[in-house]
Amino acid sequence: MTQAIKDKVIVITGASSGLGEATARLLSAQGAIVVLGARRVERLQALADELTGSGSKALAVTTDVTHCDQVKKLVDAAVQTYGRIDVIINNAGLMPQSPLDRLKVDEWNRTIDVNIKGVLYGIAAVLPYMQQQKAGHIINVSSVAGHKVGPSFAVYAATKHAIRALSEGLRQEVKPYNIRTTVISPGAVATELPDSVTDPDTAEKVRKAYEIAIPADSFARAVVYAMSQPQDVDVNEILFRPTRQEL
């Protein structure tokens, strides 16, 4: 059990599967108190019940990150139940991909709403508490696509580039409050994200690219690494891939 994580109150969005679920499990095993947000209430509650049944503290709050008030409700529930908020992991995300000339405008809008606005709403919800505490850690999830752009994933890459820009601006602004910031950029990790690709040609390319995907707990371990550093160490960016990934 890592002492830097034990008893920390940690909010995780997109916690019902994939990176969020794996991270909730690992942090819970390290003694953290996890407050879980996602849209799929049954899966979310099942995870919370499993963790509490193992002796951990976990709270499930149905949350759609495209609604600012729901993200605030999630963070408020953490503070009201456990007295503080130490970490937020803005993990909820979508990865629909298609060439721009397919004109999937509704998918573009949804991706922007979840991947950018959802992160901003998480930041907005925790900042007042963390500023008052003069402590906290904001972890935002980008992607290798936040570093590289290619055909069929221009919009997704744009949202993940935006997360890196937001995180760097945030890092500079919160220095007076002793708040740490980390942006984590995974490569091909085994999650449900590829299932959100609706364009058939692109979906097949993504499926092949993800044949080398590594387990979701690889992301969870990156979170633990960033959180476990001494308070005077601020790990601002982590980029990792499968060893075999070329992009």
Phi-psi bin for 134: left (phi > 0), alpha (psi -120 to 50), beta?
A: left
Per residue in 118-177, pLDDT (tens digit) is 999 999 999 999 999 999 999 999 999 999 999 999 999 999 999 999 999 999 999 999
Per residue in 192-237, pLDDT (tens digit) is 878 888 888 888 888 889 999 999 999 999 999 999 999 999 999 9
Q: What is the CA radius of gyration of the chain?
A: 17
14 contacts 220 by C-beta, under 8 angstroms: no
pLDDT band at 117 (very low <50, low <70, confident <90, very high): very high
Report the run of H or E that residue 52 belongs to, with start and end.
helix 41-53
Active site annotation includes 156: yes
For residue 134, the one-letter residue type is K
- Alpha helices (H) along 63-176: 68-82, 105-112, 118-133, 154-173
How far, CA to CA in Å, does 56 sit from each of 9, 23, 59, 203, 217? 12, 14, 10, 38, 19
Per residue in 54-98, pLDDT (tens digit) is 999 999 999 999 999 999 999 999 999 999 999 999 999 999 999
Nearest to 150 by CA among 162, 160, 164, 137: 160
Question: How many whole angstroms separate alpha carbon 56 and alpha carbon 33?
Answer: 7
Find the angle CA(111)-CA(115)-CA(117) to the nearest 5 degrees.
Answer: 100
Q: Return the half-sphere exposure (C-beta side, CA atoms, 13 A cut-off) of residue 76.
A: 10
Task: With a cut of 90, say whether residue 2 has pLDDT above it.
Answer: no
- pLDDT (0 to 100) of residue 1: 57
- pLDDT (0 to 100) of residue 40: 94
Q: Which of 156, 177, 210, 225 is catalytic?
A: 156
Q: Which domains does the chain have, with CATH numbers?
A: 9-240 (3.40.50.720)
- The helix/strand/coil state of 179 is strand
How far, CA to CA in Å, does 187 sit from each of 4, 112, 114, 165? 27, 20, 19, 18
- pLDDT (0 to 100) of residue 57: 98
Per residue in 19-59, pLDDT (tens digit) is 999 999 999 999 999 999 999 999 999 999 999 999 999 99
